[in-house]
Every structure is written in structure tokens, then in C-alpha cells.
């Protein structure tokens, strides 16, 4: 019997003074997606803001304030509110955690300037690898403690966001990080009162970690990725500013965008019951389908960049329903070969779709209809192949430098990955090996 290990989000609400129109809340934002009913949310749960909930930026780029799954300040130029967000989260001396690639870029310098101008210092930790590991975490915790910091700004793509959240989580703990793996009620072992507040600022549009309650960490000894979970890892405030993603290199735009699509696809395909996530997942796929090709063709298309940021957040909200073999294969490949997570997801996607077809065909037929794709499952499969080809995604893992010499190890790691239990078709040594053989080529 499978056990559903997905987590239900617990929205955090700010206490502000001005009433907002509930018809313009996130799921009903007419510039973000299609209209959705808010009857299940309730007016009493809506965030109160000093700003109008939605504005229209030139070029019809949406600006909005959302309260689900946490307080989100969305829109171009919202990075200017970083200092205010830190103060609202209770920080007076934050540590900005980002990755090595972002450390010297202008967007990071601008964030630090904003903090310094507001009297919050300009402390930064950037010793973060593309697949963050326990050594990065130890160094980050040491920097946090040595600097006397009282909060973390998790800044960047998935690596910076995950590591930043885990620094805030672990800086006040006395047990090793592996004691908080997402297993059963292990999260209750943590001292919740010792978790520092977090403000998240994504600079890519893929992982959705800015609205997640977990972080992925690689064990530097075993090279196994683990999911570390606690409800209070969910950032107190998230700033989604699509202008921060405009300078992303094409390959990162593709990889992170396909990561968002993989999150939505696997959540939608998951056998577990969670109709809220189901709806979010299929709309997230639509946003990626319509906007990822646009941002790859024109990296300055701010409206499409904004929709991709929405899709990334939606994928992370949706996959509380579950993930599956795309991630089960991708995690060990990334841990051993240090490949880009989203790009690896994109490469293995067709093989996993074919394996899962008997269990998901009816569901995919419905999704295809919603997405405007004719031909049912076959039409959807062909769409995925064409999307990958158009975006320049490698056809096989061998093109990323992965061979079959460690396939036995990859199979064992994939089966042990926590996402394996969410695959619609039960994974075995036999079919997982076949998946790797097909994906490697």
C-alpha cells in the first residue's frame, strides 16, 4: 500500500489595515490566469494591504499582492520593497544567501544596496553549489551565527532559495539536519521557536522554492539528495519581481521553465487525492505552454516572464499532491553528475510519460483538451517532444555526460528517493532500470 507523504500548506496572513477586493485575489487575478471562484477561501481570510491588490504595469505586466500560500508581493520593481519586507518579517540584521553565480551580478548588488540604505547592512553568504550540500549548509550557519543575524533573505534560483531557507531553519537547532528529513513526523523534532524568519526573492522561474516548506540538500558523503521539511521553512514574505529574471541566460531560462512544467505535470499525474492542487497544476502547465517559448525567444518579454514566475510558484504549490519518476530519476543524476535539475527533468520526461501511460492516459486526455492540444495522450506526448526540441533540450542524458557505468547505483538511489512513492505506476528495479536505459540512450 502506498502512503501519501504530501504536505498541506498552512497559509500565513499578515495583519494590515486596508480592505482589498476579494474578487482580485491570486486565483482570480485576471492578468495571471483564468477566473476562479473564491468561495472556498472566504473573505475573512483575505490579506489586508496598503496597496491595491492588483495594478497593471505598462505592457500589461501584472502587479499583485497575494496571501496564498504565504504573503507574496508580485510585480515588476517590487524588489524595491525588500527592506520593508525584512522589517515586516521582524529582521533588523538579515543575511542574504545566494549562489556563487549570482554573487557578483548587478541584481544582487542592487538588493544589498537597498538593505544598506535602510540600515539593515549588506551581509551576504554565497558559498552555495548548484546542488547545495551539507558543507554549504555548515558554512552558511557559521556565517549566520558569526554575524549575529536575525533572519535570512533567500535570494536566487533553487540552490540559493533552498540553502537560504535551511540556514534559517538550522541556525538555532541542536540536532543534525538529517534528523529533519521529510519522513513521518520527524519535523516535530525541531525547535520551532529557534527558526529564523525568511524573506524569499526568486531570480529564476522554475523551482517554486519561494513558496515551499522544504529544502533539498545533498549528503556530500553519500551523494544522496534528501528533502528537509518543516512548516516554518515557508518564507514569511516572498517578493516575485519578474524584472530580476530578465537577464537569465537562455539555457537557465529553458531549464528552470521545464522544471516548472515537470512540477505541474507530475503533480497533475499523481495518484493521490488533492483536487485543489490538481487544478493549480493544469493551469500552471497552460502558463508554461504559452509563455516559456516567448521568454526563450525574447528574454525581455516582461509579461511572459511574469507568467512564468506565476507558473513556477503554482508548480510548487501543486506538487504537495505528489511527484513521481521524473524527479526520482533526476535527483540521483543531479547528485552524482551535478547536472541542472530542471534540464535533467526535461530529458527524462518522455520516458516517464510512456511508462505511466496506462495509469494516466485518461487524465492526460483531459489536460490536453484544456491546453488546446488535439490528439489526446499521443498529442500531448508529441507536444512535449516538440517543446523540448524547439527549446534545445538534449534528447538523451548521454548528451549531459551520463553513461550506463553507474546505472545500478542510479536505480537504487531512484527507488529510495521520497518522490518514487508518488509515481502513478509503481517503480521496481526492473522498470526503473528500463527508464534509465531509455533516458541515457
Measure the CA–CA gap between 235 and 154, rounded to whole angstroms: 9
Q: Is the pLDDT of residue 323 over 60?
A: yes
Measure the CA–CA gap between 29 and 440, rounded to whole angstroms: 42
Pairing of strands 237-240, 71-74: parallel
Measure the CA–CA gap between 123 and 43, rounded to whole angstroms: 40
Count of CB atoms situated within 10 Å of the CB of 88: 16
Mean pLDDT of the chain: 88
C-alpha cell at 254: 529553458
Model's pTM, two decimal places? 0.85
Digit-coded pLDDT (tens) for 369-381: 999 999 999 999 9
Whole-angstrom Cα Rg for the chain: 20
Digit-coded pLDDT (tens) for 406-423: 999 999 999 999 899 999
C-alpha cell at 330: 533526476
Q: Is the pLDDT of residue 2 over 80?
A: no
- DSSP class per residue in 314-349: HHHHHGGG---HHHHHHHHHHHHH---HHHHHHHHH
Predicted pLDDT of residue 60: 83
Any residues with CB less than 8 A from the CB of 434 and at least 6 apart, and which?
355
The DSSP bridge partners found for residue 226 are: 217
Residue listed under C-alpha cell 500531448: 380
What domains appear along the chain, each with residue ranges and CATH number? 70-244 (3.40.50.1970), 248-440 (1.20.1090.10)
| Residue 14 pLDDT level (bands cut at 50, 70, 90) | very low
Counting Cα atoms < 13 Å in the Cβ hemisphere of 135 gives 8
Measure the CA–CA gap between 106 and 187, rounded to whole angstroms: 37
Residue listed under C-alpha cell 489526446: 376
Predicted pLDDT of residue 59: 58
Amino acid at each position: 500500500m502506498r502512503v501519501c507523504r504530501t504536505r498541506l500548506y498552512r497559509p500565513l496572513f499578515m495583519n494590515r489595515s486596508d480592505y482589498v477586493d476579494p474578487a482580485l485575489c491570486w486565483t482570480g487575478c485576471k492578468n495571471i490566469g483564468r477566473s476562479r471562484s473564491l468561495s472556498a477561501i472566504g473573505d475573512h481570510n483575505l490579506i489586508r494591504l496598503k496597496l491595491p491588490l492588483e495594478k497593471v504595469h505598462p505592457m500589461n505586466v501584472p502587479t499583485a499582492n497575494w496571501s496564498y500560500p504565504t504573503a507574496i508581493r508580485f510585480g515588476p520593481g517590487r524588489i524595491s520593497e525588500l527592506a520593508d519586507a525584512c522589517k515586516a518579517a521582524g529582521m533588523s540584521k538579515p543575511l542574504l544567501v545566494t549562489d556563487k553565480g549570482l554573487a557578483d551580478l548587478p541584481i544582487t548588488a542592487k538588493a544589498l544596496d537597498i538593505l544598506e540604505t535602510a540600515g539593515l547592512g549588506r551581509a551576504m553568504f554565497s558559498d552555495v553549489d548548484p546542488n547545495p550540500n551539507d558543507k554549504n549548509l555548515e558554512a552558511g550557519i557559521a556565517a549566520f551565527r558569526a554575524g549575529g543575524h536575525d533572519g535570512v533573505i533567500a535570494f536566487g534560483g533553487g540552490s540559493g532559495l533552498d540553502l537560504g531557507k535551511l540556514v534559517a531553519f538550522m541556525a538555532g537547532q541542536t540536532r543534525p539536519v538529517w534528523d529533519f528529513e521529510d519522513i513521518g513526523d520527524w519535523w516535530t523534532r525541531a525547535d520551532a521557536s529557534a527558526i529564523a524568519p525568511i524573506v524569499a526573492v526568486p531570480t529564476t522561474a522554475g523551482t517554486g522554492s519561494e513558496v515551499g516548506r522544504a529544502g533539498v540538500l545533498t549528503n556530500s558523503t553519500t551523494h544522496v539528495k534528501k528533502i528537509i521539511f518543516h512548516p516554518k521553512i515557508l518564507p514569511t514574505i516572498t517578493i516575485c519581481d519578474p524584472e530580476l529574471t530578465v537577464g537569465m541566460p537562455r539555457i537557465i531560462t529553458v531549464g528552470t521553465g521545464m522544471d516548472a512544467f515537470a512540477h505541474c505535470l507530475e503533480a497533475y499525474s499523481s495518484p493521490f487525492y488533492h483536487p485543489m492542487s490538481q487544478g493549480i497544476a493544469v493551469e500552471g502547465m497552460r502558463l508554461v505552454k504559452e509563455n516559456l517559448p516567448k521568454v526563450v525567444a525574447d528574454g525581455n518579454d516582461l509579461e511572459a516572464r511574469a507568467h512564468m514566475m506565476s507558473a513556477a510558484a503554482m508548480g510548487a504549490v501543486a506538487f504537495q499532491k505528489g511527484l513521481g519518476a521524473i524527479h526520482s530519476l533526476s535527483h540521483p543524476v543531479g547528485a552524482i553528475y551535478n547536472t541542472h535539475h530542471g534540464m535533467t527533468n526535461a530529458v527524462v520526461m518522455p520516458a516517464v510519460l510512456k511508462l505511466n501511460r496506462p495509469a494516466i492516459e485518461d487524465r492526460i486526455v483531459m489536460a490536453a483538451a484544456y491546453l488546446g492540444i488535439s490528439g489526446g495522450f499521443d498529442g500531448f506526448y508529441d507536444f512535449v517532444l516538440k517543446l523540448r526540441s524547439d527549446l534545445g533540450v538534449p534528447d538523451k542524458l548521454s548528451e549531459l555526460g551520463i553513461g550506463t557505468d553507474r546505472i545500478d547505483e542510479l536505480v537504487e538511489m531512484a527507488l529510495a528517493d521520497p518522490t518514487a512513492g508518488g509515481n502513478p505506476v509503481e517503480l521496481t528495479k526492473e522498470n526503473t532500470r528500463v527508464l534509465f536505459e531509455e533516458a541515457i540512450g
